[in-house]
A and B are shown apart, each in its own frame.
Chain A
Amino acid sequence: MITLNVNGRAHEVDADPATPLLYVLRNDLKLNGAKFGCGLGQCGACTVMVDGEAVYSCLTPILLLQGRAIKTLEGLGSAERPGPLQQAFIDEQAAQCGYCIPGMIMRAQALLERNPSPSDDEIRAHMNPGLCRCGTHIRILRAVHRASKTMQGAIPGGKRA
């Protein structure tokens, strides 16, 4: 049994310790946010946050994650109460098929928690590992800018969300 802290809750997981986090999130915890894209750490569809950093869940065995704080898309909000980044993506209609977007949101969340007001170049550089095939990039960039503004407005001093 391995204990994983996901979105602030402890979960006892009965799985091979070599199992990548992605499969545990999706199948054991039934969290759909992280997606399988390549299993190679090349596309970012599986991105989640671990201790505040964007991490490829398809490559990270659960063995390494005991005692670490894992955050997934579901930890940011719900359809009824979306978090600031989710709301910004909705406001910008920043999705086509949407398959890459959970990973994009988690990658952006890691940036905004570290740097609440990034420049356009900083956002592009940070988001560069994430692949989108529908060509939604410009809306994704706009959504990250929008979230950066709303998060600062909502949280004085740019404190972490």
Chain B
Amino acid sequence: MSAKPFLRGRSCAMGQETGSGSRSKFRSGLGLTRREFVAGAGALIVSFALLPRLSAGQAAQDARAPTLPGSLKDTPMLDAWIRVGADGTITVFTGKVEFGQGVKTALVQLAAEELFVGPARIELVTADTSRTPNEGYTAGSNSMKDSGTAIMNAAAQVREMLVGMAASRFGVAADSLSVQDGSIRAADGRSVAYAELVAGQSLHVPAQPQSRLRDAKSRTIVGKALPRLDIPGKLTGAVAYVHDLRLPNMVHARIVRPPSYGARLRALDSSATEKVPGVIKVVRDGSFVAVVADREFQAIGAMRSLFRGATWDEQATLSPQSEVYAELQSLPHDDYLIRGDATPSAKTWSVESSYRRPYQMHAAIGPSCAVALFEAGKLTVWTHSQGVYPLKGAIAEMLRLPAEAVRCIHMEGSGCYGHNAADDAAADAALIAVAIPGRPVRVQWMREQENLWEPFGSAMLTTAKATLDGQGTITDWQFDVWSGTHSSRPGQAGNLAAAWLLQSPFALPTPKPIPQPEGGGDRNAVPLYDIANARVAHHFIPKMPLRVSALRSLGAYMNVFSIESFMDELALAAKVDPVVFRLRHLKDARAQDVIRLAAERFGWNNFQERESGKRRGRGFAFARYKNLGAYAAVAMEVDVDRESGRIDVVRVVAAVDSGDVVNPDGIRNQIEGGIVQSLSWSLYESVAFDDTRITSRDWSSYPIMRFASVPRSIDVHIIDRPGAPFLGTGEAAQGPAAAALANALASAAGVRIRELPLTSKRVKAAIGV
């Protein structure tokens, strides 16, 4: 889209932004009064007395903790983030990746806003170990907080520097200059473009702790629903995904994966496979087996042939699925008291409940894919990994290559909802590429390989106990959560599925819990509610029988499902409306705001429970993701068919506060999608297995939500907090949507189901028709 609509008539005199307002503390300026420019070594080195003029107290505070905003902390040089080309193009670099959450568009908006240019002028480069900052994983709804904050501040600082350079050139005060569409203009009409000022050189300058950011009121790009930059290409057949990458001389590979965890290849007869037309090579290293062919369908045929030639030793290592929750409590676990106000007294609890969540799958529509090329001792991997830098290290370790010999470049994949098989496919491609140097190798996992080998969201068990006083106030609270790890991402070779199979294998590293306040299995296990005496314990199970890792929102999905179901149970016991009950236990004003907004827009107080063949009910839930991210409240209306046990979600109303809103439609899209996905998890999804193998091999054995079951409407209301920190959005809806569903079921049918998913079978059994 053209940048012009955003820029028409826009002109901002730099000296006019220093008024009072919520941002005034950020506006002390960079002190661009004395500076010198030194051109050298391909970069324009700018050094100057940058210390902002600060109050004495502020300066003392900054001296103790001179922190840079967002990911500038780790990558402080401005030219790592923003470069202005001699032709006027502006390139912005982020270590975060796009996977459909719209982060590219939001980051471009932030850069364009602070640089006073149209979004179309900005080219954004995403995670590439040779080009971009290392921002770790794109996870935890942290992209706006980390990269958004860094790019916004870097852009403002680059702009200020350019303005300072123009001021020097014109011999006028910086405050007398105005900026419009990448051009700096003096009061007398002289003007100079950014590109002329830098002449193609980098601004190799360290970032400063404070930036002169645009006043929220004068913004023209941030806060607007700029259409997503990646959508037109995706809708018209552009090369949009790593799956679409077609390099010259590329070959197609398929893997023959073991049929079950721990299976070992006893024998391999590849003689028939080697006769399949188009087959170039069979690659074997221990129990890792792959075949490479000229054409993709030849590779698939060869994979099937090779599978027939493989004999595996399998072991029955899995307990019966019906014993999952007993097993969680009996497996060795490390106990962490994450909140402990008082020793629990031997009192009687008013309400006690226990909740269950099965293993659940990411189940992206497109199985994982990667392309790798090994040439002249250097390996390049194109991958839809969420963390190209950690993956680079893991692949280098696995191949025993020096880290500098490996480059990982992110390209989009099919929907990413956490740690799926993206990294594993990249490792496969790398292993095969080194076996046929000089030829790009494309590895595409098959559906059942993705389902059987992706790391699942961990099965979890929680128990909740609370005491109510005579006024219906919670006085004591005890919450326990049992969970496997929610992070077994690579960083080490042993986190790559292929590495376990090699002749010289790498063992799966023993995971450690993600510490509070973010938490892993205990994410959102501490209630945000004001409760005098609360004890919360995390029982971390290092070694799980099934492969587990990060699935969107980690433990928050289950902990919020548990706590918010339990809050309704307590409200019922206290004979208080569930929304009122929540508000009574919350001091946080922003939490109250989203709850009130969702309830009001839903029409909570006027809701009529009715019966017309089906029972209609309403449910409510709230959480602040990680207790430090976005606030989200969800109200839901359901119809329950008592004969079949089927739950139909009629309508959903959500309210969200993600802090400063960069792209409201991006937030809406994420919340809508999060609600539908969470409803799918919560109504249908549970990974099935027998004593040896995962049996959820495809979409018939792992059903997900379809159009026929999608709510009639989902309305998302956003509370914007201009100038406030970015809180992220991507995972905020998962927990509240699940709990609102369970609460609506209880309201409609009078039955409380505490085991996910809320299948028709369970509902029917609970109703007892």
Any A CB within 8 A of the CB of B672 = yes
Q: Does B141 contact A (CB under 8 A)?
A: no
- Taking CB atoms, residues of chain A closer than 8 Å to B673 are 96, 134-136
B234 pairs with A27, CB closer than 8 A: no
Which residues of B245-269 are within 8 A (CB) of A?
246
Compute the total of residue contacts between A and B using a CB distance below 8 Å: 186
Contact surface of A with B, Cβ cutoff 8 Å? 15-16, 18-20, 23, 26-27, 30-33, 35-40, 42-43, 45, 72-74, 76-79, 82, 86, 89-90, 93, 95-102, 105, 123-125, 127-141
A124 and B365 contacting across the interface, CB-CB below 8 Å = no
Known: A133-B364, A134-B677, A139-B669. A32 touches B700 (CB 8 A): no
List the B side residues contacting A23 at CB < 8 Å: 295-297
Cβ of B470 < 8 Å from any Cβ of A? no
Asked if B672 contacts A135 (CB within 8 A), the reply is yes
Interface status of B239 (Cβ within 8 A of chain A): yes
A99/B674 in contact, CB under 8 A: no
Contact A138:B706 (CB < 8 A) given known A86-B236, A98-B240: no
With both chains docked as a complex, state the minimum distance between the C-beta of A155 and any C-beta of chain B, in angstroms: 20
Cβ of A140: which chain B residues have Cβ within 8 Å of it?
707
Interface residues of B in 211-250 (CB under 8 A from A): 225, 227-228, 230-241, 243-244, 246
Which of B413-421, B536-544, B613-621 contacts the other chain?
Answer: B413-421
A40 engages B698 (CB within 8 Å): yes
When A and B form their complex, which 6 residue pairs have the shortest distance between CB atoms, in order from nearest?
A: A135-B676, A97-B100, A98-B234, A135-B673, A97-B415, A99-B414
A141 CB to closest chain B CB (Å) equals 7
Q: With an 8 A cutoff between CB atoms, is B665 at the interface?
A: yes
Q: A90-B231, A136-B673 are in contact. Are A31 and B237 (CB under 8 A)?
A: yes
**Chain B, Cβ-Cβ closest to A77:** B236
Q: How far is the CA of A30 from the CA of B296 in the complex (A)?
A: 13
In the complex, chain B residues 714-749 whose Cβ is within 8 Å of any chain A Cβ: 714
A99 adjacent to B241 (CB under 8 Å): yes
Interface presence of B173 (CB below 8 A): no
Question: Given the complex of chains A and B, what is the CA–CA distance between A143 and B366 in angstroms?
Answer: 22
Would A33 and B237 count as touching, CB distance under 8 A? yes
Q: Are A32 and B238 in contact (CB under 8 A)?
A: yes
A137 close to B710 (CB less than 8 A): yes
Q: Tell whether A42 pairs with B699 under 8 Å between CB atoms, given A73-B237, A99-B241.
A: yes
Interface contact B236-A36, CB-CB below 8 Å: no
Are A138 and B365 in contact, with the CB atoms below 8 A? no
Report whether B246 and A30 are in contact in the complex, using a CB–CB cutoff of 8 Å: yes
Tell me how far the C-beta of A131 lies from the nearest C-beta in chain B, rounded to whole angstroms.
6
Chain A residues closer than 8 Å to B298, beta-carbon distance: 16
**What are 19 residue pairs bridging A and B, where the CB atoms are less than 8 Å apart in the complex?**
A16-B277, A23-B297, A35-B414, A43-B699, A82-B232, A97-B412, A97-B414, A97-B415, A99-B241, A99-B364, A100-B365, A123-B707, A131-B699, A133-B365, A134-B415, A136-B672, A138-B676, A139-B672, A141-B707
Contacts of A74 in B (CB 8 A): 236-237
Tell me whether B665 and A93 are in contact (CB under 8 A).
Answer: yes
- Once the chains bind, are B365 and A102 in contact (CB under 8 Å)? no
Q: Roughly how many angstroms separate A146 CA and B231 CA in the complex, as a whole number?
A: 17
- Which residues from chain A contact B295 at a C-beta distance below 8 Å? 15, 19, 23, 27
Are A138 and B710 within 8 A (Cβ)? yes
Given A97-B415, A139-B672, are A130 and B243 also a contact pair (CB < 8 Å)?
no
Taken residue by residue from 695 to 715, chain B's Cβ proximity to chain A (1 for < 8 Å, 0 otherwise) reads as 000111000111110110110
Closest Cβ–Cβ distance, residue A108 to chain B (whole Å): 11
Q: Is the CB of B238 within 8 A of A133?
A: no
CA distance A105 to B673 in the complex (A): 18
Q: How far is the CA of A150 from the CA of B99 in the complex (A)?
A: 30
B444 within 8 A of A: yes
Given A33, A40, A136, which contacts B699 in the complex, CB threshold below 8 Å? A40
B233 touches A138 (CB 8 A): no
Closest chain B CB from A33 CB (angstroms): 4
Of B240, B241, B673, B707, the most chain A CB neighbours within 10 A belong to B707
Residue pair B235, A131 in contact (C-beta under 8 Å):
no
Contact of B447 among A38, A101, A123, A138 (CB under 8 A): A38
CA distance A158 to B296 in the complex (A): 41
Given A27-B296, A135-B672, A79–B238 Cβ distance below 8 Å? yes
B residues 294-316 near A (Cβ < 8 Å) are 295-298, 300
A39 contacts B365, C-beta separation under 8 Å? no
CB nearest neighbor in A for B711? A138
B675 within 8 A of A: yes
A38 touches B100 (CB 8 A): no
